[in-house]
């Protein structure tokens, strides 16, 4: 059950259409496209700073830091409940803007019929990682599609594109991760792709679904990043080797898993840098997203 399980069965009539002239929706979109200053210290900020004790050396030269779910910024717009891993909308912490070229992980719950009207993006690599329900998409490139649980919806926004997205169900909530990566090149030609994750390929393993070179059937991104999805249960073990040339961020999308002895639950994450092995084990219906990134010095 999501931590935001109190969503109404049906949102107000004014937000059921993603193109509705709704002031709350428009105001929230403004927050999405601008930096917002949050006065004072938030509970999330305090929790995050208290977690510095989790910084440790788990392998000989592997530096790991746990990022607890409770430290994320939270937004409640009625039709949208969201937890932000990095500064976004009304959650602002100048010390938590990104992890190298990983800029946004928003854990979103969208009420039935809720969504975003047409709005612009540019120079970000944006994808939706579907956990439950469906998300309908239209854009100014002429694309129109619906992605469902287990699917990936990707936009390389480049020189600029507008799109809308909404939950097409009249009864069911949609749960997804929206993720933004910083590209190596700006003002490229925008493009859109979809991909279905393979449950067999990622059971007790990692499936590459986004990469800098488009290998192994993955979607190609302009970011210096490879992104994997994995599932773990029981005795499943995944080992991931890390060197100084890359950094790793693991987000637990659902369930529970141990990473180098640290127990992480849904919404928790871990940062890793240096040389060594990340061992993911003891999963309990765990689903993880692993980012293998080029460091930004």
Structure tokens at 29: 């979109």
Work out the number of other CB atoms within 10 angstroms of the CB of residue 70: 15
pLDDT in tens, 134-176: 999 999 999 999 999 999 999 999 999 999 999 999 999 999 9
| pLDDT computed for residue 41 by the predictor | 38
pLDDT in tens, 199-255: 999 999 999 999 999 999 999 999 999 999 999 999 999 999 999 999 999 999 999
Q: Tell me the whole-structure pTM to 2 decimals.
A: 0.82
Is residue 36 situated within a structural domain?
A: no
Burial of 244 (0-12, 13-18, 19+ CB in 10 A): exposed
What's the structural domain count of the chain? 1
C-alpha closest to that of 288 among 272, 270, 262, 261: 270
| pLDDT computed for residue 296 by the predictor | 85
Three-class SS of residue 74? strand
- CATH code, 102: 2.60.120.10
Domain that holds residue 96: 22-29+47-293
């Amino acid at each position: 059950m999501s931590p935001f399980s109190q969503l109404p069965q049906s949102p107000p009539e004014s937000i059921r259409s993603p193109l509705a002239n709704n002031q709350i929706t428009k105001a929230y979109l403004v927050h999405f496209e601008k930096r917002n200053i949050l006065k004072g210290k938030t509970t999330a900020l305090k929790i995050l700073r208290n977690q510095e004790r989790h910084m440790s050396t788990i392998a000989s030269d592997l530096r790991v830091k746990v990022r607890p779910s409770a430290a994320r910024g939270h937004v409640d717009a009625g039709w949208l409940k969201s937890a932000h891993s990095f500064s976004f909308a009304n959650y602002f912490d100048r010390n938590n803007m990104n992890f190298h070229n990983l800029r946004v992980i928003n854990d979103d719950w969208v009420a039935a019929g809720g969504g975003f009207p047409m709005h612009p993006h540019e120079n970000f690599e944006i994808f939706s990682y579907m956990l439950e329900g469906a998300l309908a998409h239209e854009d100014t490139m002429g694309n129109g599609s619906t992605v469902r649980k287990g699917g990936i919806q990707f936009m390389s926004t480049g020189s600029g594109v507008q799109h809308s997205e909404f939950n097409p169900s009249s009864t069911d909530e949609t749960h997804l991760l929206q993720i933004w990566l910083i590209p190596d090149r700006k003002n490229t030609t925008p493009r859109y792709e979809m991909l279905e994750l393979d449950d067999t390929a990622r059971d007790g393993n990692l499936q590459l679904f986004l990469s800098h070179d488009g290998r192994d059937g993955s979607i190609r991104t302009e970011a210096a990043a490879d992104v994997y999805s994995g599932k773990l249960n029981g005795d499943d073990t995944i080992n991931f080797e890390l060197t100084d040339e890359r950094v790793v961020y693991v987000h637990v999308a659902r369930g529970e898993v141990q990473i180098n002895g640290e127990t992480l639950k849904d919404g928790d994450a871990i940062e890793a840098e240096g040389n060594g092995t990340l061992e993911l084990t003891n999963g309990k219906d765990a689903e993880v997203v692993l980012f293998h990134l080029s460091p930004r010095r």
